[in-house]
Amino acid sequence: MASPKYLAVFIVLVAIFNICNAQSLKLGFYRKTCPSVEAIVKKTTASVISRVPTLAAPLLRLHFHDCFVRGCDGSVLLNSNRNNQAEKDAIPNQSLRGFGVIDRVKSAVEKKCPGVVSCADILALTARDAVSLIKGPFWKVPLGRRDGKVSIMMEALINLPPPFANITQLKAQFAANNLTTKDLVVLSGSHTIGTSHCSSFSSRLYNFTGRNDTDPSLDPNYIVRLKSKCKPADVTTLVEINPGSFKTFDQDYYTQVAKRRGLFQSDAALLDDTETKAYVKLQSASHGSTFFKDFATSMVKMGKIGVLTGNAGEIRKRCAFVN
C-alpha cells in the first residue's frame, strides 16, 4: 500500500491534471473546424423546447449528472452492454430524460461537421440553450471536451448527491468536485424548474424517522398539499419541484425554500448552514438580484469538472456508444 506521503503527492498531481484540462477548454474551440456548431445546437434545441418546454429541466439535469460522475465527459449518455452496467441504469439516473434530444442535436451537428464535436460539448451547449430558451440566464460555454469511454453504474450511485442529503454531505460532494459552498446553493437553484417522483421525498411526508412521522423542517401546510398528491408507496406520480413556476427559470425557488417549502431534504438543508441560508434569504428578499449572474458563473465552473481534452478520450460518432 502506498505511503501517506506518496498518496498525498498523487492527489495533488490528479488535482493539477484536472485544473490543466479545465484550462485547456476555450471559447471558440471549434472556430475553424465547425464554426456553426453553436448555431446548429441552438436551432435544434429551440425546435424541441418550443414544443415541449418541460424538457429544459431534464436536459439541465443530464448535464449535472454527467459532470458529477467522472467529470463532464458524456459518460452518462452511454448505454449498458452485456459486460457492463452503465451510469444511466443507476437508480438516480433511471428517471433521466432528454437522451433523444441529445441524439437529435448530435445528428444535426454530425451532418455539418462529421467526427468533430464531442457529445460532452453538445450536452453542455444544449443544457445552456435549454435554460436560456425558458427565460433563464445565458452563459458562454468554453469548449474542447472529449468523450469518455467508461461508464459504471456504481460510480453514479456513489457520486451523485441524493435528494435526502444533509448539508454536510452536500458540501463534501461539491468540494470533491472543486465547487464551493456558494456554488452549491447557486446550483441548487436549478430546482426552480422541473418535476420529481413522489418517491424522492415521500419519506418526509409519511415516515421521516421510521415512526410514521413527518419532517419537522417542512411547512405543515405544504405537507398537507403534498399528501393530497402523493400517497404512501407512490412511485409514478410527478410533482412540480417549484409549484406554480416549474416551467420558467426564475428565483422563486429561493422564496419557497425560505418558506420551508423546499421539496427535497437537500433543499431544506440549505437553511442549516450560515452561508447557504444567507444566500437563500438574499435571493428571496431581492427577487433574485444576483441569481442569474451567479448561476452562469457556477455553471461554467461545473462544466470544467474532470474534463478530457487533447488526445484523451474520443469524439463519439453516436452518443450512446463508444466508437
What's the per-residue H, E or C state across 162-214? Answer: CCCCCHHHHHHHHHCCCCCHHHHHHHHHHHHCCEEEHHHCCHHHHCCCCCCCC
Summarize the annotated binding site as residue ranges: 66, 69, 71, 73, 75, 87, 161, 191-192, 250
- Supply the mean pLDDT for the chain: 93
Summarize the annotated binding site for heme b as residue ranges: 191
For residue range 111-166, what is the model confidence (pLDDT) as tens digits? 999 999 999 999 999 999 999 999 999 999 999 999 999 999 999 999 999 999 99
Summarize the annotated binding site for Ca(2+) as residue ranges: 66, 69, 71, 73, 75, 87, 192, 250
For residue range 231-247, what is the model confidence (pLDDT) as tens digits? 998 999 999 999 888 88
For residue range 254-274, what is the model confidence (pLDDT) as tens digits? 999 999 999 999 999 999 999
Q: How many CA atoms lie within 13 A of 134 on its CB side?
A: 29
For residue range 195-213, what is the model confidence (pLDDT) as tens digits? 999 999 999 999 999 999 9
User: Span 156-182, mean pLDDT?
Assistant: 96
Residue ranges in 207-290 assigned as alpha helix (H) = 220-229, 252-258, 265-268, 274-285
Q: Given a cut of 60, is residue 3 above it in pLDDT? A: no
Give the pLDDT of residue 247: 86
Q: Which of 63, 65, 197, 287 is catalytic?
A: 65
Asked about 63 being catalytic, the answer comes back as no
Work out the percent of the chain whose per-residue pLDDT is above 70: 93
Give the pLDDT of residue 22: 54
Amino acid type, 60: L
